[in-house]
Chains A and B, each alone.
Chain A
Amino acid sequence: MRAFSYERAASPADAAARAAEVPGAKFIAGGTNLLDLMKHEIETPLHLIDVRGTGLNDITATEEGGLRVGAMVSNSTLAANPRVREAYGVLSRALVAGASGQLRNKATTGGNLLQRTRCPYFYDTAMPCNKRSPGAGCAALGKGATTRQLGVIGTSDACIATHPSDMAVALQALDARVETVTPEGETRSLTLDAFYQLPGDTPDVENTLAKGEMITGVVLPAPVEGRHAYFKVRDRSSYAFALVSVALIHAPDGTGRVALGGMAPRPWRRDAADAALPQGAAAVMAELLDGARPTEENAYKLTLAERTLAALLAEE
């Protein structure tokens, strides 16, 4: 870990302004991801701006009938919120499928969205990694590499890592928007597709936040009727990242939405796939995974995603 300086910000606008102003600054919220990365010197911020005191701790109703979730709301609090449990079940389920109780108590809504990949080569600083050191190459694309956990779609020749969040998969299915404040004090509202950026040639750039721009919260639109389900498939029963996860919102008339985790550099959803839902899992995946580029080791994820959705549909 490199030496760093530290301050606490009192408001989102202050935090954003300071982050733009101080060289090498980074926000820290729960610290459950950032501190690990700093210990490995994968992240080497010179200055940390602690944003936990910025007053973004509430879950409030919006005029549109939805919910605004403050960026500092912990994953535990969000999952347990009665309104979330009742009307946004897919989100509650995705959250409690993630990490462990202790981590969820510390992890925040904003931090969760920005957690970094679990590609094992990203975690070993001796390995070339375009995401860590742009232009260095990608160890996961090496001849002898293991890629079982890595992405199958939305990836690029520079990086095949996935985004590991469970929460974000549910948010994607819910059409949630990310709200931010810029160093200039302006606010923005972004869909997840506009928020997350696919790797292309620059896998080190994972989102469209400007320098210093801070997440203030997440807005959930008015609830969508139907059954909410989240199926996380993993190698052990708990405390593991998803090999594949499926978020499903299924309306009584057979229409609905499907988002996937563990497959791509961002939570993966396509309108055409949603439209195919009445035709079943195979039809959905034909749309959703069109253009997939799996490796030999992770091609099973294509089959697995379809079978997992089929399992959810068969449960009804």
Chain B
Amino acid sequence: MDFNQSTDDNLFDHARIVGKPHARIDGALKVTGQAPYAYERHDVAAHQLVGYPLCATIAKGRITHMDATAARAAPGVAAVVTTLDIEPLAQAKSNVARLFGGDTVAHYHQAIAVVVADTLEQARSAAALIEVRYQEEQGVFDLDAAWEQQTPDEPLSDVGDVDAAFKNAAVTLDEVYRTASQSHAMMEPHASIVDWSDGGQMTVWTSNQMIAWTRKALAKTFAIDLETIRLESPYVGGGFGGKLWLRADTVLAALGSRAAGRPVKLALPRPLVFNNATHRSGTVQRLRIAADAEGRITAFDHSAFSHTLPGGSGENPVNQTRAFYAGASRRVAHTAIEMDLPESADMRAPGEASGLAALEIAMDEMAEKLGMDPVEFRILNDTQVDPEDPNKPFSDRHYVECLQKGAADFGWEARNRTPGGQREGQWLIGQGMAGAYRGAPTMDSGARVRLQAGRLVVETDMTDIGTGSYTIIAQTAAEAMGLALEDVEVRLGNSDYPVSSGSGGQFGAASATAGVYAACLKLQEEIAQRLGMNSPRFEQGMVIAGTTEVALAEVADGEELVAEDTIHFGDFKDTLQIGTFAAHFVEVAVHAHTGETRVRRMLAVCDAGRILNPVTARSQVIGGMTMGVGAALMEGLIPDVERGFFVNHDLASYEVAVHADIPEQEVIFLDTTDAASTPLKAKGVGELGICGVAAAVANAIYNATGIRVRDYPITLDRLIDQLPKVS
């Protein structure tokens, strides 16, 4: 199905199931432990062995010597493969550092051997017996030191006359903001079972967001035929972008399996999630804003720096600055500084999460300089067209409504207006807000539907990374085919199924449901043809045309009817800006003595097109808000800038928000639809939820204390010297 123009009124505008709250259909399986995650799939292959990785303990250099004799002789060990035993593996585009093979060490905890044994304990203790000698090389690990010496890259865009705008501005701002490197820290670490026992057919049971990409990456990495690889990833215990790619767990399990001639399962031990796998790069961002005396923005100048291993792209945090607010002139630049810290890559709302963390503090600061209410300042600078290209309208943008609704519901009018001016006992109370903008990309997405005696089975390689894909896909199919939700079974995450968008970039929900809808339309055509009906309706399990009604259960005479299709999104979208928008409102309490910050309430108002299921969408947004609180207050990978690795590589020292940190969270979805996005008029919400949250918290802290912190995370040591005197 080609989606080549904005859609008209369609069945989803009169939906019975889509857009209605439904608990997730896989929920019971998950809470009763019956949804098998990759590492627990004991039944999929007999005689599984356990693999354990050994990783480099230098940040950069060469391995000069490895001796695995003792490991090979250790109890229970079936195979050891060291990185010196094999030629460097080929690299898929998505991997910046080589995953395995050869003597080069590109980053700390890069995998250098895998030990396969009968038990985890045996493999782990044997791995510790491998002797390694290195020749270390000097690396670059300090982003803060590096950016000052770095010549910035050419601007990504430079429109209008930025320098003139700053010269003529009534009010300007020029500040530097820093976001910390962050780990996905998903609950389920990267894990795979691989059966490549005979070096021929490779079967992979894994935890991965992108089946087709990862299958391709495997083919490339091992230089084998795509057709010999099968991949399953039906349940994913969190990914947040960390599982978009092929990673060492799968590669090591495959190599171990081939060497041992048995299926091998391997999960990355927790410390390796931080330094072996990918993370979001920290950023340094210089932001300048110019405005006229009335508060109209005339120019933005946003120059950012992040780090990457040579050849990667880092964390580009300037894109939202190109389109979020009005203003005739703007210049944005991002420089990915090549450094030798572990591999940086995508994490939930890559770019925007970091960019808005800076931009939305800057907006708060500008509002203050102008003597304006931060909500009013944002409303004044709203735009309905791409400010870099005024001929390009936003397809559907209700940011102003988000701001207004949020302000009303939060009680913004009644807020503290004097920074540091509201106190309850030993706590300073403050309110803050921020805006959020995240693109709404779509990707071609396929699905197959099988009608079996009145029940529908949907198959697509789409993944459910905890987001609710199973449920919204079932809703879409049930809606389209006139079935009850219970009559639809959804099968996901399998390379035998049609290639979907996968889960990432908040494109999954919108794209995959559209693909399923396309397949359902195909099935409808087939049924119509079979029954000789002209454009029948599908309602309540019946196919209806005129006065004729046939039960879906009977259309195929006991046979199975199968239809498959892919939705292709046309380039008419390039003539539009399609995005999602939100306003976040936060109240914090900052302890006047200690500087501890506790969030007291949070509100998000989202404009994200049709909300396919308010239950699962809300859960996405509050999850994003929770992660945003983490980013604001505690999450930060701390590099040792001499030794070149992230020191806090476990969940005791890389702190993420816990239950006690998260107060009442309220989410309001505006009742909007975006006809240019998909046939369902839906967009994503999973990344929107994290965007802007950190800045809202930072702005609330400023309001509570009068202390403006521009470096994340805002831990108490960044506040303590400026807090009110105590006796």
A joins B in a complex: yes
Asked whether any CB of chain A lies closer than 8 Å to the CB of B216, the reply is: no
Question: Measured between C-beta atoms, what is the minimum distance from B597 to chain A in Å?
Answer: 9
Partner of A241, one of B128, B142, B643, B652: B652
Do A120 and B647 touch across chains, with their CB atoms under 8 A apart?
A: yes
Max chain B C-beta neighbours (<10 A), residue from A121, A123, A124: A124
Residue of B nearest to A234 (CB): B596
Q: Mark B592-609, 1 if CB is under 8 A from A, else 0.
A: 111110100000000000
A307 interface neighbour in B121, B639, B660, B723, Cβ under 8 Å:
B723
Q: Does B720 contact A (CB under 8 A)?
A: yes
Q: Binding site of B, secondary structure by majority: helix, strand, loop or mixed?
A: loop
Inter-subunit contact B716/A239 (CB<8 Å) = no
Q: How far is the CA of A281 from the CA of B727 in the complex (A)?
A: 8
Q: How far is the CB of B196 from chain A (nearest CB, A)?
A: 28
Interface residues of A in 107-147 (CB under 8 A from B): 118, 120-121, 123-124, 126-127, 139, 142-146
How long is the Cα–Cα vector from A237 to B128 in the complex, in angstroms? 36
Interface flag for B655 (CB, 8 Å): yes
Contact present for A300 and B717 (CB under 8 Å): yes
Contact partners of B641 in chain A: CB under 8 A:
143-144
Q: Is the CB of B653 within 8 A of A303?
A: no
- Closest CB in chain B relative to A119 CB, distance in Å: 10
Closest chain A CB from B694 CB (angstroms): 15
CB distance from B707 to the nearest CB of A (A): 14
Range class of the B interface residue count: 35 or more
B594–A233 CB distance below 8 A:
yes
Cβ-defined contact, A1 with B124, below 8 A? yes
CB contact list, B68-88 vs A, under 8 A = 75
- Which among A243, A282, A300 has the highest number of chain B CB atoms within 10 Å? A300
Quick check: is A235 within 8 A (CB to CB) of the other chain? yes
Question: Is chain A's interface secondary structure helix, strand, loop, or mixed overall?
Answer: loop
Instruction: Tell me whether B190 is interfacial, beta carbon within 8 Å.
Output: no
Are A237's CB and B660's CB within 8 A? yes
Which residues A290-316 have CB closer than 8 A to chain B?
Answer: 300, 303-304, 307-308, 310-311, 314-315
Q: For residue A1, which residues in chain B have a CB less than 8 angstroms away from its CB?
A: 121, 124-125
CA distance A110 to B125 in the complex (A): 28
Instruction: Kindly identify, within residues 376 to 429 of chain B, every residue whose CB is under 8 Å from any CB belonging to chain A.
Output: 426
Question: Taking CB as reference atom, which chain B residue is nearest A143?
Answer: B642
Contacts of B141 in A (CB 8 A): 144
Which of A142, A233, A241 touches B640 (beta carbons < 8 Å)? A142
Nearest chain A residue, comparing its CB with the CB of B638:
A146
**A238 in the interface (beta carbon within 8 A):** yes
Chain A residues with a Cβ closer than 8 Å to the other chain, count: 43
Bound together, the chains give a CA A300 to CA B595 distance in angstroms of 11
* CB–CB B591/A144 < 8 A: no
The answer to whether B716 and A233 have CB atoms under 8 Å apart is yes
- In the complex the two chains form, is A236's CB within 8 Å of B723's CB? no
Closest chain A residue to B141, Cβ basis: A144
Decide yes or no whether B57 CB sits under 8 A from chain A. Answer: yes
Asked if A126 and B57 make an inter-chain contact with CB atoms under 8 angstroms apart, the answer reads: yes
Q: Are A311 and B642 in contact (CB under 8 A)?
A: no
Tell me, rounded to whole Å, the shortest Cβ–Cβ distance linking B274 to chain A.
Answer: 11
Interface status of B226 (Cβ within 8 A of chain A): no
User: Residue among A2, A235, A280 with the most chain B CB within 10 A?
Assistant: A235
Known: A144-B642, A308-B594. A315 touches B125 (CB 8 A): no
Q: B484 an interface residue at 8 Å Cβ cutoff? A: no
Contact A237 B640 (CB under 8 A): no
Please pick, from A139, A235, A308, A311, the residue contacting B643 in the complex, using a CB distance under 8 A: A139
List the B side residues contacting A144 at CB < 8 Å: 141-142, 639-643
Q: How distant is A117 from chain B, measured CB to nearest CB, in Å?
A: 12
In the assembly, what is the distance between CA of A124 and CA of B271, in Å?
9
Contact among B124, B657, B715 with A39 in the assembled complex (CB-CB below 8 Å): B124
Q: Which residues of B contact A41 (CB under 8 A)?
A: 125, 128
Question: Are B640 and A146 interface neighbours, CB within 8 A?
Answer: yes
| A208-235, CB < 8 A from B | 231, 233-235
Residue pairs across A and B with Cβ atoms less than 8 A apart, 29 shown, are A39-B124, A120-B648, A123-B650, A124-B647, A124-B649, A127-B643, A139-B640, A143-B642, A144-B640, A145-B640, A145-B642, A145-B643, A145-B647, A233-B594, A235-B715, A236-B655, A236-B657, A237-B598, A237-B658, A237-B660, A240-B652, A280-B727, A300-B716, A303-B720, A303-B721, A307-B593, A307-B723, A311-B591, A311-B593
Known pairs A237-B598, A238-B660, A300-B720 / 7 extra A-B pairs, C-beta < 8 Å: A142-B642, A143-B641, A144-B640, A145-B642, A231-B594, A235-B713, A238-B658
